[in-house]
Structure 1
Amino acid sequence: MTDTGQDWTERYRRAVMNTFGTPQRVLVRGEGAYVWDADGARYLDLLGGIAVNALGHAHPALVQAVTEQLGAVGHVSNFFTTPAHVRLAERLLEIVTPGGAPDGSRVFLANSGTEANEAAFKLVRRHGDGTRPRVLALEGAFHGRTMGALALTHKAAYREPFAPLPGGVEFLPFGDVAALADAMDDDVAALVLEPIQGEAGVRPLPAGYLAAARRLTADHGALLVLDEVQTGMGRTGTWMAHHGIVDPDGGGTSPVVPDVVTLAKSLGGGMPIGAAIALGGRAGGLLGPGQHGTTFGGNPVSAAAALAVIETIERDGLLHHAAVTGKALADALAGVPGVRTVRGSGLLLAAELEAPVAKEAAAALLDAGFIVNPVAPDALRVAPPLILTQEQAATLVDALPAALATAGLRTPPGAGRAEETP
């Protein structure tokens, strides 16, 4: 007799640490943008493993790449390398900034976004070299849960149980250029930013902020570190979210070029991988032999998966598809009664509701066959596979009014409007 979802949940409770709470469903298979649970119910996966499953589930290109690589060599120690490791690093240098990364740029491959941010934090400390003790981050920031990444994360509930954390990190008001200018000085090692704060409710940086951050960090010799773990790899309709943000003082055509970019999530399409990319010789040469490492970083199976993701995004035109589908979805969601506004870009969106009923609405949508995330009390986040069709997206829009009604939002004041990253 096959175990039911309830059976598996009870086994989970007895065997797994309670770090995530009770699972909402037990998922057993997926295909494209859909998943099925242990009881046979189907769901449109509009969260994609929290912006991870860029190609959806069981994509043939990803399955083939992983299978072939595992059949050749699955792991080597970091005393050696593999062609997949080298090819992926080369490809990341090609796409991390338009026209390719400058000479001297280098890639460190890790296993997750948290580990990529840990590597970036160590780059920052090496750059500080004892004379630049301060690191700046923003209120609302989320960069991971290991000790270094947690030090850069703002939310007190995440930080306080594990104090003391690595010191020197200061949090500035979100999007406040004047506050950034006041805080910046020659004793700052780095400024760490997310182009769109995903865990804070999908909050894009205000227009002009990133360009001002680049100028201020350059003027004071600090590194500009962009955490693109959630926003990178086509999620917003460009390879990196910051590619769509230009410097208005630079003629409106030149994207901001940071010193360090961190990636994970969509990079592996479901396989565990992260990357810290140092752009240019100043940042690229900061870490030497013995100063950082990881047993599984650069694993050839995960690297092969990431290469398949990049190749499929290019071959199938998924950057353009994500931009167009995301714009259509944002516009449609903004027209749903009870939605105040829609934030984000491409296929990283949050529908801000007229009342704090996101948790109840997400539960109603799950019962109706849709996976979304109540990222804030009044906001529903969607970060679906980049292969999501407009027809599939429309089914969410059709289902949302009933879910909001179930959540208690029965007579909303009016429709909202879409707010995309400039």
Structure 2
Amino acid sequence: MIRIHDFRDDHPDFLSLLERGAMPDPKVVAAVAEIVESVRTGGDEALFHHMKRLDGVDLAATGPRVSDADIDAAHRAMPTPLLEAIDAACLNLRRYHERQLPADYRIDGPDGEILERRYRPIATVGVCVPGATAPLLSSLYMNLVPALVAGVPRLVVISAPRNGRVDPAILATAAHLGVREIYAISGAQGVAALAYGTKSVPKVDKVVGPGSIWVSTAKRLVYGVVGIDSIAGPSEIAIIADATASPRNIAIDLLSQAEHGTGQEASVAFVPTRSQAESVRDELNRLARKYDLASAVKPALDRHGALFVVNNLNDAVSAVNKLAPEHVELLGPEAEGLADRLVNFGALFLGEQTPEPVGDYYAGTNHVLPTQGTARFASGLTVADFLRSSSRVRYTSESLARAGDHIRNLAEAEHMRAHRLAVELRLHPES
């Protein structure tokens, strides 16, 4: 399921990893655009049509909003150990994200002028939560907690109904965090409903959360009508291991990313010897058989699974900086010592006792991260994604007089006569 190669920059498997961020299939874009436009113009009728056609659920009679009774029942039925785990994870998330809150500031100038920056929460945010194949409740609280820390007053959750109902674990998690506006809608039609609003689904100002290629393409198309967090791609991990690292740990961590289910996930490791690579491959195959993982991981490992043997770990660092992956693990003391040389990644996990799922579920850092090379210019989800900032400016007659010549010269350089006059006529009202 996974291939071993001597690493080089132009190896076809390495180049295919670099190319994973290509634009989506034009046929997918066209199909999604048709769905989005139909919901924009047709509202609930189009939304319900697509939900019946694509998700097999008829919302015409019941409407898309989940009832309070169903939410309360799901919350009551949630196993106590799971609620305790959610509480602990969200406490860690809140503690980490509260440190991200920016402070308003003010600068007072010598002639009475004032410059200010103020931060305010976005008024309404919609959170997409995958739930058709498995209830990704961690994705829900990873999005909700920073939004709650930011103070967003209206939070909306949408999730694919399974057998006509949103998964109880998603309902219970949202309710546990105080969010009760939940809709049994999904896919491109769900994103469009959030962006444009329908009779049954009030519009929001920003759409966040992961999803299929249909969801990510719809988010791309509605950007500008609403804000979005990012265009999320399939999950990925790059592991740099030294000669002391456990082959079993490397193998299971590669498997943990390959099991996400799209078949497009990338699981890559860089090791210093072929014998170590062979040990990792053997462990991977053994674990996949022992724990019945083969069918879940094989499509992804066949496409984007690789064990690269490097001449030295410096070459591995260079390769990972080019890949700019979502997750990076450094396993073994020599590998850990290279941490500061890594610059392009979503999240970094240091040491044999820090597997990537620690961050996925619990540590407090956010697991909504840049994928497919976008870590070169993008960051993971933070409180700032749920805030908007604006400036305030107040000048006095003295400060405007002091700055007048500079402003006039700049306006003249840009051939903006009225801009210049807006200052001059204040300074010389008799003109």
Query: Shared fold (TM-score greater than 0.5)?
Result: no
Higher helix share: 2
Q: TM-score, normalised by structure 2?
A: 0.26
Q: TM-score, normalised by structure 1?
A: 0.27
Which of structures 1 and 2 has the bigger CA Rg?
2
